[in-house]
Amino acid sequence: MNRDSFFKHQAPTTPFPLALEIERAQGVYLYGPQGERYMDFISGVGVSNIGHCHPRVVEAIKDQADRHLHTMVYGEYIQSAPSQLAQKLSSLLPEQLNCVYFTNSGTEAIEGALKLAKRATERTKIFSYRGAYHGSTHGALSVSGNETKKRAFRPLLPDVHFLHLNKMEELNRIDEHTAAVLLEPIQGDAGIRLSEYEYLQALRQRCDEVGALLIFDEIQSGMGRTGKLFAFEHYEVIPDILCSAKALGGGLPLGAFIADKALMETLIDRPMLGHITTFGGNSVACAASLATLAVMEEEQLLEQAEAKGALIEKLLEHPKVLEIRRKGLYFAIEFKDAEQVQEIVEYCLSKGVICFWFLSCPESFRIAPPLTITETEIKEACQIIQEAFGRLD
């Protein structure tokens, strides 16, 4: 019945979904109705950073559900979970990132950040990056770099321009008409492309020179994925606006854009209600997020990410691997072509290990296991992946 309904009544995204039927999930594993077991080596594409159904998160969700669910559109009522989460995030971030606007997803966080930048600067020009992925709504799609995904939906947001990551000579294109520069400090869908330290320093300086706002998209790279709570901490550069989602909700839908209070207040007049959302900051999702942050701290997961990532990198060395790009537990494994990647992903799935590809880098596949993964589980998964490598022509 579930399978029939999935194919007949759920709107599709591709002609060939993985179509795994999932009955339950726990830790790094997903389980099918007949007891099938799959190791989730991608964390639900960057969501389940502390594993599936962590007891602390489940307890927090149940406790909040007993108190109340939705009560009012975002920003009108004082509710404990979102208020505590906003304070907690502010305490973990640099002092100028002290005000949180909650959304339902990453693409909505990007939309809010773009509106905030245009409203605050009263400018229209936006720079993004080749290879970028920021979401699928019209604004977020406009600043994403994959032209194949955009072509059918034009016209999109005007006055959007693109830079190449780490090309210093292009920074002078950012001028006094620029509202914002939007960047993933580590590009995800482009195949884990790391910004250079000197480049981000120079980008920050250029934005300051011309009065443009710097927006960091940490929807995939945040929440401990790289060994820091947010990847920008590796670079000693602070954005004007920070976007988060995916793992922020601990498995529930939650996003946020975060800025200085004075900057955020530009959205409250001319016009009033400059940005609104019904479900943003849902108390159940915020309770799950608070529990997730507590687990990260108490289990010292950030401190373990680099060592676990280094172990995976060592175990996946192979003559057919052209390049391994990573930071912490955020990986792209590159091969000769997309056909080899397809073979690897399909073989691993048949053996119970879920890997995945990148939309804008089909010759690489992604690895991003839960931060809670053990050394034993890493070795088990990497052995299967190595078997897949060995089957390539």
| 3-state per-residue secondary structure call for 142-167 | HCCCCHHHHHHHCCCCCCEEEECCCC
Tell me the angle at which helices 283-298 and 55-67 cross, rounded to the nearest 10 degrees. 150
> pLDDT in tens for each of the 393 residues of the chain?
688 899 999 999 989 899 999 999 999 999 999 999 999 999 999 999 999 999 999 999 999 999 999 999 999 999 999 999 999 999 999 999 999 999 999 999 999 999 999 999 999 999 999 999 999 999 999 999 999 999 999 999 999 999 999 999 999 999 999 999 999 999 999 999 999 999 999 999 999 999 999 999 999 999 999 999 999 999 999 999 999 999 999 999 999 999 999 999 999 998 999 999 999 999 999 999 999 999 999 999 999 999 999 999 999 999 999 999 999 999 999 999 999 999 999 999 999 999 999 989 999 999 999 999 999 999 999 999 999 999 998
**Strand, helix or coil at 103?**
strand
Same domain, 200 and 64: yes
Same domain, 293 and 307: no
Same domain, 292 and 304: no
- Which position has the token pair 């990847």? 231
Same domain, 210 and 79: yes
Same domain, 103 and 224: yes
Number of domains in the chain: 2
Q: Which one of 264, 297, 330 terminates a domain?
A: 297
The CATH number given to whatever domain includes residue 183 is 3.40.640.10
pTM listed for this prediction: 0.97
Q: Dihedral, CA atoms, 390, 317, 350, 393, nearest 10 degrees?
A: -30
Same domain, 228 and 325: no
pLDDT on residue 1:
67
Same domain, 67 and 39: no
Q: Are 145 and 190 within 8 A, CB to CB? A: yes
Domain boundaries, position 352: 2-53+300-390
From CA 52, how far away is CA 25, in angstroms rounded?
6
Same domain, 261 and 212: yes
Provide the 10 A C-beta neighbour count for residue 67. 12
pLDDT on residue 393:
83
Question: For residue 191, how far is the Cα from the chain centroid?
Answer: 13
Same domain, 176 and 317: no
pLDDT on residue 332:
98
Same domain, 135 and 191: yes
From CA 184, how far away is CA 104, in angstroms rounded?
19
Q: Which one of 235, 268, 297 terminates a domain?
A: 297
Same domain, 293 and 222: yes
The CATH number given to whatever domain includes residue 17 is 3.90.1150.10
Burial of 160 (0-12, 13-18, 19+ CB in 10 A): middle
Q: Are 258 and 241 within 8 A, CB to CB? A: yes
Strands 125-129 and 178-183: parallel
Same domain, 47 and 69: no
Q: Which one of 232, 263, 297 terminates a domain?
A: 297
